[in-house]
Amino acid sequence: MDFYYSITNKHFMAAILLLLGLLMPSLEIAGAQSIGVCNGRDGNNLPSPQAVIDLYRTSGIGRMRLYSPDPATLQAFRGSNIELILDVPNPNLQALAADASAATQWVQTNIKNYFPDVRFRYIAVGNEVDPNNGGISQYVQFVLPAMQNIYNAIVAAGLQNQIRVSTASYTGLLGISYPPSDGTFRDNLSYALFTAPGVVVRDPNNNLEYQNLFDALVDAHYAALGRAGGPNLDIVVSESGWPSEGGNAASLDNASTYYRNLINHVRGGTPRRPGRAIETYLFAMFDENLKSGAETERHFGLFSPNRQPKYQLTFN
């Protein structure tokens, strides 16, 4: 089975998908198409699902993360050739954990009814379920049994070689991320934006050198996996973004710099695993005016709701 981890700090968001369990040769971890974009729908002025799919295709974006199984969006996916991470929302976890037949029905309704016209890549069972967060801690006990039931349903459907089952969890569970091999990072803007002119962090445990926060966070998770008995597991970054307004360091210039440099950077791997492209999903496709939380949460879009790009980016 597979697992997600989420990473957040006050400047940017990233979530990391840790590919555990069955390593299937038919599923390419990362390659020429390493970039996807998350498609949040928390807005009342967003384009139609078909218009969104059309924008992905004309923009050269070959992968999407979708946070819930929206039938209209899944229907629009048919024949698009866009690969998909599909989430199981947290409120569904208890029912799926308690009843294997509910998981079978979920897979039938949201996966088999669209496969193979829709290219499902991962199923994320739950999102950032944190035992230390009182608002969602009640879901913790349901994550693993829900994952197991969904996985068993995928196997029963004969799709285990095409689709992986995962979960997304909050970065606070990592504990320590500096130095990366100990898996606190430095509040340094150029370090976060990939613009530091030289080495910012040298890991005293292995002498690896870091010029950006992204690599340090990914390698901190690799180190944590190693200590947990999974030194050879792969990581996919399922969210990474920068807001264009609403808070300190949130600006169009900083966001443009971050996204552009991130796209260029992930092709080369990290100091701990150089030369291995990192499959990465930018957060997010559109500004979402109904998102709760800090003002920055409503300004992560690569595009405005009218489908006009906020930045000049090349995705492939």
pLDDT digit string, tens, across residues 156-187: 999 999 998 887 755 556 555 556 665 433 45
305 part of a folded domain = no
CA 73 to the chain's CA centroid: 18
pLDDT score of 306: 98
51 part of a folded domain = yes
What whole-number distance in Å separates Cα of residue 87 and Cα of residue 166? 9
Q: Which residues pair with 282 in a beta bridge?
A: 37, 240
- 128, 279, 288, 297: which one is catalytic? 128
- Count how many domains the chain has: 1
Tell me what the pLDDT averaged over the chain comes to. Answer: 85
What whole-number distance in Å separates Cα of residue 312 and Cα of residue 211? 24
142 part of a folded domain = yes
Domain that holds residue 273: 3-298
pLDDT score of 247: 87
59-94: burial string, b at 16+ Cβ within 10 Å, e else:
bebbbbbbbebbeebbebbeebebbbbbbbebebbb
199 part of a folded domain = yes
* Digit-coded pLDDT (tens) for 53-62: 999 999 999 9
pLDDT score of 178: 57
Is 239 assigned a catalytic role? yes
pLDDT score of 20: 37
Whether the per-residue pLDDT at 25 is higher than 50: the answer is no
307 part of a folded domain = no
70 part of a folded domain = yes
Q: Which of 32-36, 67-71, 274-278, 299-303 has the lowest mean pLDDT?
A: 32-36
162 part of a folded domain = yes
Whether the per-residue pLDDT at 74 is higher than 70: the answer is yes
- What integer is the mean pLDDT of 88-115? 98
123 part of a folded domain = yes
- 28, 83, 209, 239: which one is catalytic? 239
Q: Which of 15-24, 110-119, 122-131, 140-149 has the lowest mean pLDDT?
A: 15-24
* Digit-coded pLDDT (tens) for 241-296: 999 999 888 999 999 999 999 999 999 999 999 999 988 899 999 999 999 998 99
CATH code: domain of residue 239: 3.20.20.80
